[in-house]
């Protein structure tokens, strides 16, 4: 559960496509489902809008993990946005290894606007995974901001 005092509290930047994950998150709220409070939702109109720059910036600014949450395949509101998001995430994953960030810290998931339980499952599992990995290795290296 999120209030575990024994492990560090991960900060996760969750880029949420408004038409899918953002609405699913709202639904999870209406159902009063609990999830890790280290998850910060950044609203985007489409997962395809999230650039490599934004993902790396998130890590730079102190995210321990980054999630990109997109519409299910073949159901993107803007037709091809989720495909582009996947390509971009795959591209950035190759960089992460080179700069010493574990690839498990960046993940893309597909879900629909009415899949509140899946939203909760995905973010909670990510939070657990990040807790096991520990704080992002970048945080130690960044001096001031």
Query: What is the binding site for other proteins (CB under 8 A)?
Result: 2-3, 11, 13, 22-23, 25-35, 37, 40-46, 48-51, 53-54, 57-58, 61-63, 71-81, 84, 88, 110-118, 120-121, 139, 145
Are 2 and 38 spatial neighbours (Cβ–Cβ below 8 Å)? yes
- Minimal distance, residue 113 CB to other proteins, in Å: 5
Q: Which two tokens stand for residue 60?
A: 């730079």
- Minimal distance, residue 97 CB to other proteins, in Å: 22
- Minimal distance, residue 16 CB to other proteins, in Å: 9
What 50-53 contacts at long range (C-beta under 8 Å, 24+ apart), as own/partner pairs, is: 50/15, 50/85, 50/88, 51/88, 52/88, 52/91, 52/92, 52/95
Give whichever of 7 and 61 is closer to other proteins, judged by the CB atom.
61
What's the rounded Cα separation, in Å, for the pair 111 and 50?
A: 16
- Minimal distance, residue 98 CB to other proteins, in Å: 21
Please name every residue paired with 16 in a beta bridge, in sequence order, or none if there are none: 43, 69
Give whichever of 45 and 103 is closer to other proteins, judged by the CB atom.
45
């Amino acid at each position: 559960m999120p209030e575990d005092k024994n492990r560090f509290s991960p900060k996760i930047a969750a880029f949420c496509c408004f038409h899918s994950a953002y609405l699913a998150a709202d639904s999870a709220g209406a159902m009063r489902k609990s999830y890790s409070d280290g998850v910060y939702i950044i609203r985007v109109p489409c997962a395809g809008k999230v650039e490599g720059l934004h993902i790396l910036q998130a890590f730079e600014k102190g995210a321990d993990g980054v999630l990109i949450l997109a519409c299910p395949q073949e159901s993107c509101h803007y037709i091809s946005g989720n495909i582009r998001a996947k390509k971009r995430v795959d591209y950035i994953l190759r960089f992460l290894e080179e700069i010493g960030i574990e690839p498990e810290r960046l993940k893309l998931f597909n879900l629909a606007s009415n899949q509140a339980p899946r939203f909760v499952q995905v973010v909670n599992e990510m939070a657990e995974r990040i807790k096991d990995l520990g704080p992002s290795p970048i945080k130690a290296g960044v001096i001031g901001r």
